[in-house]
Amino acid sequence: MKKHSCVCQGLAVVFVLVFLVFPVAAEDQKPVKMVHTVPLSGVLGSVPETGLGLSDAADYINETGGIGGRKFVAIVEDGRYDVPTTLGIFNRFATSEPKDEFLYYSQFCTPCLKALSEKVNQEEKLPVLAGSMSALIFDDQVREKAPYFFATGPGYGEQWGMVLKYIKDNHKKKTPPRVAFHYFDNSTGRDPMEDLKKYAKKFGVEIVLMEPFSATAQTFAPSFLKFRKENVEYVLFWNWSLKIGVRYFKEAKKYIPNIPTFGVHWTAANLFFYLAGEEYDNHYVVSGYPVETETDNEFVKIVTGMAKKKNRDVKAWAFYMQSWAMGQLAAESARQ
């Protein structure tokens, strides 16, 4: 099986975070707790690496001195990518945990992050490291509207901009590249549209179609046939469900085998090699995190070393790396 899925542009993302909390001291030796709500089941599918990354980061943090001598505790909960479940988890810990111990929260769910905004930013005032990079949340006003929300990667719109630049730079024809944006039909799916239009204009790419698909879609054939009819040359596949992704790649291989598909963060997991097999070929991605083969990267050395030490069978490296980064960012901010 050829594995020529290509990371268009790996980013060495530098996070400049000023968490609005007081530095923690070691004298009372109370633990520093971080509650981490991740998709271990539910509509998105199971992505255990989203939890394992933080758990392993916590072990590394504690093995290297903790937080000024204080233990860093990672509490991983299954949020099921579900708003009521996630809100229930946050409220449970906000109510039961001591305020000087429960100091950080992190999660992977854009709708959940939106639902938590008032509770987090006006009531609890607790730093949240978000797996979401939504432009609907992390816009120019985020510091005023949601000062306790922190993205852990470049915005989805910026990632799609990188995709369009890659397409333009590698397009062989003299005519503008013809692109279809195939997106999950909800507010998060529509999230990057304005940025997409902006970057398409900047790089000289023609967006031929903006085609939604339903979370319950049983086939994508009508859209694929439409892409063929409109002479689409590249498909931008905006999706974050493993279940949908597997079906999508299999059908794309059948209906549009010669049209490359492109994705961002959520389709960057090499987990799809195992789930979709050869159908994942000819899919290109932009990821905000290094990949496990970048062994000259010190962060990658630490992360892959811990994974090997713990005999982790990591398949979704992008999310394992991201969860590690969440833990390290929280730990560093606590030390400062």
**Host H or E run for residue 63:** helix 49-63
Using CB atoms within 10 Å of the CB of residue 64, give its burial: 0 to 12 exposed, 13 to 18 middle, 19+ buried. exposed
Q: Pick the closest to residue 236 from 165, 149, 303, 137 (CA basis).
A: 165
| pLDDT band with cut points at 50, 70 and 90 for residue 20 | very low
- Every domain of the chain and the residues it spans: 13-154+292-335, 156-287
Q: How far apart are CA 258 and CA 207, in angstroms?
A: 18
Query: Tell me, what DSSP letter sits at residue 29?
Result: -
| pLDDT band with cut points at 50, 70 and 90 for residue 93 | very high
Q: Check for a shared fold between 13-154+292-335 and 156-287.
A: yes
Q: Pick the closest to residue 37 from 90, 92, 114 (CA basis).
A: 90
| pTM reported for the whole predicted model | 0.84
Number of other CB atoms surrounding residue 12 within 10 Å: 10
Residues 6+ apart with CB under 8 A from 39: 45, 46, 47, 50, 78, 79, 80, 81, 108, 109
Please report the pLDDT score of residue 23 as a whole number. Answer: 52
Please report the pLDDT score of residue 204 as a whole number. Answer: 98
pLDDT in tens, 202-222: 999 999 999 999 988 889 999
Pairing of strands 206-213, 178-184: parallel
Q: How far apart are CA 36 and CA 148, in angstroms?
A: 16
Count how many residues are written for the chain. 336
Q: How far apart are CA 13 and CA 154, in angstroms?
A: 8
Answer yes or no: is pLDDT of 105 > 90.
Answer: yes
Which of residues 42 and 323 earns the better pLDDT score?
Answer: 323
**Side chain identity, residue 213:** F
DSSP string, 133-185: --TTTSSTTHHHH-TTEEESS--HHHHHHHHHHHHHHH--SSSPPEEEEEEES
Answer yes or no: is pLDDT of 22 > 60.
Answer: no
**Host H or E run for residue 325:** helix 317-335
Q: How far apart are CA 69 and CA 48, in angstroms?
A: 29
| pLDDT band with cut points at 50, 70 and 90 for residue 25 | low
C-alpha torsion sign, points 117, 214, 256, 174: negative
Query: Could you give the percent of the chain with pLDDT greater than 90?
Result: 73
pLDDT in tens, 125-137: 999 999 999 887 8
Which of residues 287 and 78 earns the better pLDDT score?
Answer: 78
Number of other CB atoms surrounding residue 257 within 10 Å: 10
316-334 average pLDDT score: 94
The fold of the 13-154+292-335 domain, in CATH, is Rossmann fold (3.40.50)
pLDDT in tens, 147-197: 999 999 899 999 999 999 999 999 999 999 999 999 999 988 999 999 999
255 neighbors 224 (Cβ within 8 angstroms): yes
**Side chain identity, residue 31:** P
Q: How far apart are CA 36 and CA 94, in angstroms?
A: 13
**Side chain identity, residue 225:** L
Q: How far apart are CA 223 and CA 213, in angstroms?
A: 8
Please report the pLDDT score of residue 24 as a whole number. Answer: 54
218-233 average pLDDT score: 97
What radius of gyration do the chain's Cα atoms show? 20
Q: Which CATH architecture has domain 156-287?
A: 3-Layer(aba) Sandwich (3.40)
Q: Dig out the tokens for 20 from the structure.
A: 């609005």
